[in-house]
Chain A
Amino acid sequence: MGVAKYIKNKADAIEKVIYQSGIEVKPFYGPKDLEATGFDYEVDLGDPGQYPFTRSLHPQGYRSRAWTTRQYTGFGTPQETNERFKYMIAHGQNGLNVAFDLPTQMGYDSDNPKAEGEVGRVGMAVDSLQDFEIAFKDIQFDHIGSGLTINAVASIMLAMYQATAEKYGYSKETISATPQNDILKEMIGRGAWIFPVEPSVRLVCDTIEYSVKELPRCNPVSICGYHIRESGATPSQEVGFAFEIAKSYIDNLLDRGLAPDDFVGRFSFNLNVYGNLWEQIAKFRAARKLWAKLLKEEYSVTEKKNLFLRGLFGGGGSGLTKEQPENNIIRGAYYGLAAALSGAQTTALCSFDEAFTIPTPRAALLSLRTLEILMEEVGLRDTVDPLAGSYFVETITKEMEDKIKNEMTRVQKMGGMVHAISSGYIQREVARQAYEFEKSLQNGEIIKVGVNKYTEGEQPDVEVHKYNDSWVGAQISSLKALRRTRDNQEVNRSLKALEKTSKSQNNVMPALVDCCRAYATVGEMAGVFRDVFGEWDEPCLF
């Protein structure tokens, strides 16, 4: 039943419940259980808005401000993306979350043979500044925050975002962008990596360092336990691995002479709401606390706001099913509830049709409405952290803290996340968990309504996004026209400068902004990095 192991007796009564992170749940909890964990209100919780922020980052929680909603957008051409942005903003969304197509994510131009069949398929195709100018036309850069869902070439996209904003008259100090920019999680799950581990981490940290110095309103990295979880990791691994990834970036930045208080406040996290309701709530509460403790105790961070675990708690993709897809609307509401009960600062839900197609506007809007209903109708803004003090929730929050720490210790023993990924350990471990989960689903130990229980008739079909060759042609012809009409001397000069910077220890960002302004293409800029850094040789052993 559900995303946990349930052991039943002959009378179908539940004898044992074991969560994915390994926590065994008792039939009931009382004061003694909480006492046994060593629970102390001041040390473990503190009031909302007080260290270690287990209860909430802000003293008033959702009373002072409801969560920010950020449904994933980005479709085909820059023009279509622009229309979708305006639609979502008109319907009350206050942040954009931009999806890019795979060629862009992998640093190839739309006319590269490797891009064939993929241009604009899973997101917007971006070849040059010209495309960003269209996509972000009439967007108020100083009001709307944009999540740029891209990693290997996040540095290029952030540079392009700045160049676009400046072109529309916004100074770089006023823009707010959150490039995902977490390459280490791409190497664990999702797979949109290009360069070897070390230069990849350098690019992430160049982006962070540049933002700290030049882009005061940008959060230059969003560390994604989310995709690690989607790839099969348990909730405690999701958070433990995400924190170890964050430490790899922090250590790189410390080597550059930055102080933790200069930059950790700019880190945000993307964590998954999918799973057992209680385990998720315990995970988010424990994560807020552990992150604050880690920064304070290991990195001597002093500024209160820099201790906040900010981020998006949402999604839930792997919980959705293509069978009986309307059930996903109900699932989404409960995932949203888990996020609200955990005090999520920003959230978004996967749309109910995402298990079998690219979300339709109607389905994306329904997800947004689900989140609005939770905030406006159900009563989730009434009081902060309503589950605090529950014998059960507090006990498992303490237990979750230990489980997360154990995962972190295992990675540390391997010499940190860079080593654990280079050796393939993390990838093997996540694949093993995914395999165990799939076996449990197939043998009925884990129940999925409509999939292995309460099934109905014919299985619905998946829908492969039909893809419009006519605008692929248009995208490619406008790219070719650009290559003819731009100042190619200026392009070559800026690319040479980028090459020189890439080979040095200097930050690549100013050179990238320069390349973007000259209308150098994504493929040209990433091509410089490919020449200088090479490509990653992924460990493929099980």
Chain B
Amino acid sequence: MKDKKKIRILIAKPGLDGHDRGAKVVSLALRDAGMEVLYSGLHQSVDQIIAAAVQEAVDVIGLSIMTGAHLPICARLMKDLEEKKLSDIFVVIGGVIPKNDIPKLEEIGVKGIFPGGTRFEFIIDSIRALF
């Protein structure tokens, strides 16, 4: 548990989908919980998300994906983070995630999976527990 430094998190929207209500609502909840939250804005590529994460020196990347493309996007992000020796950045995800996909995401190293409707406390506690 970090107590001196605030947890810095980048909430990111990969791909073409523009439904960002969930991303923004969770951003506000994390901010109210005392984290430093940056929001990527829409239509980001994985490369852009990694570049922003490095630039802003975040501890966590939180992806918001509603389109069903979470498996390929997460696989790509995890691989690129590893190749760039950035595996100390934790990745969590929220959005439309079918139950069957949760073990698959965990297996590739996603540290928190928050399907639509997950309570704020659960998201906040899960992220804090990473440190």
Contacting residues, chain B, for A106 (C-beta < 8 A): 16, 43
Query: Chain A's nearest CB lies how many Å from the CB of B5?
Result: 21
Q: Given that A118-B15, A122-B67, A442-B119 are known contacts, is A191 also in contact with B42, CB under 8 Å in the complex?
A: yes
A118–B18 CA distance with the chains assembled, in angstroms: 13
Tell me, yes or no, whether A232 is within 8 Å of chain B by CB: yes
Q: Given that A118-B67, A121-B68, A442-B119 are known contacts, is A434 also in contact with B98, CB under 8 Å in the complex?
A: no
Contacting residues, chain A, for B69 (C-beta < 8 A): 117-118
Query: Chain B's nearest CB lies how many Å from the CB of A313?
Result: 21
Query: Chain A's nearest CB lies how many Å from the CB of B74?
Result: 13
Contacting residues, chain A, for B16 (C-beta < 8 A): 102-103, 105-106, 108, 114-115, 118, 192
Contacting residues, chain A, for B72 (C-beta < 8 A): 117
**Interchain CB contact under 8 A, A462 and B96:** yes
Q: Given that A106-B43, A461-B98 are known contacts, is A190 also in contact with B68, CB under 8 Å in the complex?
A: no
Give the residues from 170 to 219 in chain A that come closer than 8 angstroms, CB to CB, to chain B.
Answer: 186, 189-193
**Interchain CB contact under 8 A, B117 and A432:** no
Give the residues from 1 to 47 in chain B that come closer than 8 angstroms, CB to CB, to chain A.
Answer: 13, 15-21, 24-25, 27-29, 31, 37-43, 45
A106–B17 CA distance with the chains assembled, in angstroms: 9
On chain A, which size bracket covers the interface? 35 or more
**Interchain CB contact under 8 A, A464 and B39:** no
Pick the contact of B19 from A190, A435, A451 — CB < 8 Å?
Answer: A190
**Interchain CB contact under 8 A, B41 and A442:** no
A371–B62 CA distance with the chains assembled, in angstroms: 41
**Interchain CB contact under 8 A, A121 and B41:** no
**Interchain CB contact under 8 A, B28 and A435:** yes
Tell me, yes or no, whether A503 is within 8 Å of chain B by CB: no
Contacting residues, chain B, for A121 (C-beta < 8 A): 67-68
Contacting residues, chain B, for A186 (C-beta < 8 A): 18
Q: Given that A462-B96, A538-B42, A542-B28 are known contacts, is A434 also in contact with B68, CB under 8 Å in the complex?
A: no
A232–B25 CA distance with the chains assembled, in angstroms: 10
Q: Given that A118-B69, A451-B117 are known contacts, is A540 also in contact with B40, CB under 8 Å in the complex?
A: yes
Tell me, yes or no, whether B109 is within 8 Å of chain A by CB: no
**Interchain CB contact under 8 A, A435 and B24:** yes
Contacting residues, chain B, for A114 (C-beta < 8 A): 16, 45
A431–B67 CA distance with the chains assembled, in angstroms: 20
Contacting residues, chain B, for A434 (C-beta < 8 A): 21, 24-25
**Interchain CB contact under 8 A, B18 and A193:** yes
Give the residues from 71 to 112 in chain A that come closer than 8 angstroms, CB to CB, to chain B.
Answer: 102-103, 105-106, 108
Per DSSP, chain B at the interface is loop
A103–B15 CA distance with the chains assembled, in angstroms: 10
Tell me, yes or no, whether B84 is within 8 Å of chain A by CB: no
Tell me, yes or no, whether A230 is within 8 Å of chain B by CB: yes
Chain B: CB-nearest residue to A463: B98
Chain B: CB-nearest residue to A192: B18
Contacting residues, chain B, for A538 (C-beta < 8 A): 41-42
Contacting residues, chain B, for A231 (C-beta < 8 A): 20-21
Tell me, yes or no, whether A256 is within 8 Å of chain B by CB: no
A231–B99 CA distance with the chains assembled, in angstroms: 25
Give the residues from 461 to 510 in chain A that come closer than 8 angstroms, CB to CB, to chain B.
Answer: 461-465, 467
Contacting residues, chain B, for A432 (C-beta < 8 A): 28
Pick the contact of A542 from B15, B21, B31 — CB < 8 Å?
Answer: B31
Query: Chain B's nearest CB lies how many Å from the CB of A241?
Result: 15
A431–B20 CA distance with the chains assembled, in angstroms: 9
Query: Chain B's nearest CB lies how many Å from the CB of A540?
Result: 4
**Interchain CB contact under 8 A, B20 and A438:** no
Contacting residues, chain A, for B41 (C-beta < 8 A): 538, 540
Give the residues from 438 to 465 in chain A that come closer than 8 angstroms, CB to CB, to chain B.
Answer: 438-439, 442, 451, 461-465
A347–B18 CA distance with the chains assembled, in angstroms: 24
Pick the contact of B25 from A115, A435, A464, A467 — CB < 8 Å?
Answer: A435
A542–B36 CA distance with the chains assembled, in angstroms: 11
Query: Chain A's nearest CB lies how many Å from the CB of B107?
Result: 18
**Interchain CB contact under 8 A, B17 and A461:** no
Query: Chain B's nearest CB lies how many Å from the CB of A381?
Result: 36
A322–B42 CA distance with the chains assembled, in angstroms: 25
A435–B30 CA distance with the chains assembled, in angstroms: 11
Interface residues of B (CB under 8 A from A): 13, 15-21, 24-25, 27-29, 31, 37-43, 45, 67-69, 72, 96-100, 115-117, 119-120
Assuming A108-B16, A434-B21, what are 15 further A-B pairs, CB within 8 angstroms?
Answer: A102-B17, A102-B67, A118-B16, A122-B67, A189-B20, A190-B19, A191-B20, A231-B21, A431-B28, A438-B29, A439-B120, A442-B120, A465-B68, A540-B41, A542-B27
Interface CB pairs A-B, < 8 A, 11: A105-B16, A117-B72, A118-B15, A118-B16, A191-B19, A191-B42, A463-B98, A464-B68, A464-B98, A542-B24, A542-B28
